[in-house]
Structure 1
Amino acid sequence: LDAVTTVTEADARAYRGLGLPGVRIEAVPNSVPAPSLPPADPAAKTVVAAGRLTRVKRYDVLIDAFAEVAGDHPDWKLRIYGSGDAVQDLRQPLARRIEERGLGERAFLMGSVTPLEPEWVKGSIAAVTSQRESFGMTIVEAMRCGLPVVSTDCPHGPREIIEDGVDGRLVPVDDAAAVARALRELIEDDELRAKTARAALAASERFDPARIAARHEALWTELLDRGASRRAHS
């Protein structure tokens, strides 16, 4: 074994801790292509989320957070895209929570949609409230569409994608009040929202497939050169 690649630096550190002799451990994130649509309009008054309707995504926290903000901003809406999986589907409990919070005309469970890019660009803020992520593809997808992301600072991916306070916001896990504060900050400041959106779009370019492919190619070239050098000296 010459090398192991991971999609986050946190995972790479864990593998390095195993002390695998002679094995190169390199973090190379997943790639996301640029959408074929124009970036989202920062003036749109919609928060968008997307993912499986399972407990780990904590959409109950997002609904509660939006409920804290919604009363002061009656023109804003929340759209959650996705469905459950073979093990868990929380659509009905989440629908009840929406009604209990008085958001029946403000928050919507949109179901699964493919492709998602046309839905991302209908919003101006994306939200991720997961307890954990293996990487955080939806964060990158939203940023590629020009949306700043309010995300929980969960293991492992979000903090490696979002620069807190620059191109998005990181908040504690399972903290609806913190999510609400971050949403409110962006909702109530049009200039800040537009500035953060521009920063998110620019930062997301590092996940372009060509750039990620170049990193893989550089690693493979280095490994091949190292192997050739070893053979020459054996």
Structure 2
Amino acid sequence: MANFGQPRHIAIFLPSLEGGGAERVMVTLANGFAARGHRVDLVLTKAEGPYRSEVSAHVNVIDLNRSRMLTSLLPLIRYLSRERPHVMLSALNHANIVAILARKLAGVRTRLVVSERSSPSGAVGNRATTTMHWLMRLLYPYADGVIAVSQGVAMELVVDFCLDSRLVTAIPNPVAVPEIQRMAEQRPRHPWLQPGEPPILLAVGRLVPEKDYATLLDAFARLKTSRDGRLLILGEGPLRPELEQRIEELGLNDSVELAGFQSNPFGWMAACDLYVLSSRTEGFPNSLIQAMACGARIVSTDCRNGPREILEGGRWGRLVPVGDVEALETALAEALDEVASPDVLKRVADFRPEKIIEIYEASLDLCAARQ
């Protein structure tokens, strides 16, 4: 392993390694810190999930072996009291709350930085969300730093959650382009992806309201009236029955498939003709940069947080208003007809892991981390 300075003991705390963008990012960071000579503990409420196999052999996985986040509080207190890492980085708001409480109750001097991986204001305003937002306002000021995944999320935390702007830093997610491109060579054997088939539109993300697949389906149905094409949506979620019904109502059973969760979506991204993000809100859409790393053309909603920053106002792909079926259909058609596409790999280089990890090291203040 390379050593780029004084090595430190870093703990990264999150619920599990289940299939989400935040989990993959945390694994990338853990592997990157370890490659730079730091001692890294990946502390998990439950050490399970599809990204477990991507964890470097140089990263120590700590399994708290708890079924729920709240029950991991005492094991995390014991871990901090025993190991006393220089720095702990936590991810996802419920893990952040537990991390703040555990650090306080353990009485250790570990520097604590919490991170927000999505738009907190974009969550559905139910009772659980209201309680979580109250806890964030109450407890986040006790962290030594808060990392937001985009400038938009950082602004939300300052404006909507009344955090001191000096506490909040925006750092984009790292994108391991060589690894993604290597995995992209593993093309799926789906019949629609074979040579000579109609153009493929691809979307990746959980089947949840925030992704607004209903608008995408309506726009694709309009597109189908003037040209041939097929739509693949990778992901699982509670809206599957509703989306399946909508597909049938629109007469799209032969041209739309909900292909489920795919642990390696990159082969699909490399094989598609157009990548589409139809979200109502995002924090920082990893899938957008991952698709760009696979060379895909991009159409995205100009939703709150992420896409406009990533695409630099439309320089690297088309931006359309949220929920606008007609505008989305027009953008899809124009992108499919595009002769010369922007070289999106130039933009992806700004998110290379070594660059982002250096920014994280500065934000975590590793050189000044306390014993």
TM-score, normalization: structure 2?
0.52
* Partner Cα separation in structure 2 for residue 164 and residue 125 of structure 1: 19
The amino acid that maps onto 2:252 is L
In the alignment, which of 80, 87, 105 is matched to residue 233 of structure 2? 80
The amino acid that maps onto 1:101 is L
Report the 3-state secondary structure (helix = DSSP H, G, I; strand = E; otherwise coil) of the residue aligned with 2:304.
coil
Q: Does residue 110 of structure 1 match 2:246?
A: no
* Partner Cα separation in structure 2 for residue 93 and residue 7 of structure 1: 30
**1:129-152 superposed Cα distances (whole Å, 9 cap, x missing partner):** 111112111111111111122111
**1:190-218 superposed Cα distances (whole Å, 9 cap, x missing partner):** x13xx23x2x2221121111110121224
The amino acid that maps onto 1:215 is I
Contact 1:5 1:26 in 2 (8 A): yes
* Partner Cα separation in structure 2 for residue 47 and residue 180 of structure 1: 12
Which segments of 5 or more consecutive residues in structure 1 lack a partner in the other structure?
A: 228-234
In the alignment, which residue of structure 2 is the partner of 1:12?
154
- Flag the 1:45–1:217 CA change in 2: closer, same or farther, 3 A: same
* Partner Cα separation in structure 1 for residue 239 and residue 362 of structure 2: 43
Deviation at 1:67, TM superposition (A): 1.1
- Flag the 1:220–1:54 CA change in 2: closer, same or farther, 3 A: closer
1:118-157 aligned within 5 A: 118-157=267-306
In the alignment, which residue of structure 1 is the partner of 2:352?
208
Which structure is larger by alpha-carbon Rg, 1 or 2?
2
In the alignment, which residue of structure 1 is the partner of 2:324?
175
Deviation at 1:82, TM superposition (A): 0.7
Q: Aligned-residue CA RMSD in angstroms?
A: 2.6
In the alignment, which residue of structure 2 is the partner of 1:231?
none
Aligned residues: 213
In the alignment, which residue of structure 2 is the partner of 1:27?
170
* Partner Cα separation in structure 1 for residue 316 and residue 157 of structure 2: 29
Q: Does residue 48 of structure 1 match 2:187?
A: no
* Partner Cα separation in structure 2 for residue 172 and residue 214 of structure 1: 35
Deviation at 1:28, TM superposition (A): 0.5
In the alignment, which residue of structure 2 is the partner of 1:232?
none
Report the 3-state secondary structure (helix = DSSP H, G, I; strand = E; otherwise coil) of the residue aligned with 1:143.
helix
* Partner Cα separation in structure 2 for residue 134 and residue 68 of structure 1: 29
Deviation at 1:19, TM superposition (A): 6.2
Deviation at 1:223, TM superposition (A): 7.8
Contact 1:147 1:201 in 2 (8 A): no
- Flag the 1:214–1:180 CA change in 2: closer, same or farther, 3 A: same
Q: Which has the higher contact order (CA 8 A, sep 6+)?
A: 1
In the alignment, which residue of structure 1 is the partner of 2:75?
none
Which segments of 5 or more consecutive residues in structure 2 lack a partner in the other structure?
A: 1-142, 188-192
* Partner Cα separation in structure 2 for residue 223 and residue 3 of structure 1: 15
The amino acid that maps onto 1:80 is I
The amino acid that maps onto 1:201 is L
Deviation at 1:221, TM superposition (A): 5.3
Contact 1:163 1:169 in 2 (8 A): no
Contact 1:2 1:223 in 2 (8 A): no
Deviation at 1:80, TM superposition (A): 0.5
The amino acid that maps onto 1:206 is D
* Partner Cα separation in structure 1 for residue 157 and residue 367 of structure 2: 18
Q: Which 4+ runs in 1 deviate beyond 4 A? A: 220-223
The amino acid that maps onto 2:232 is R
* Partner Cα separation in structure 2 for residue 68 and residue 201 of structure 1: 31
Contact 1:31 1:212 in 2 (8 A): yes
Deviation at 1:127, TM superposition (A): 0.8
In the alignment, which residue of structure 1 is the partner of 2:15?
none
* Partner Cα separation in structure 1 for residue 358 and residue 303 of structure 2: 28
Contact 2:298 2:318 in 1 (8 A): yes
In the alignment, which residue of structure 1 is the partner of 2:123?
none
Deviation at 1:224, TM superposition (A): 3.5
TM-score, normalization: structure 1?
0.81
The amino acid that maps onto 1:60 is A
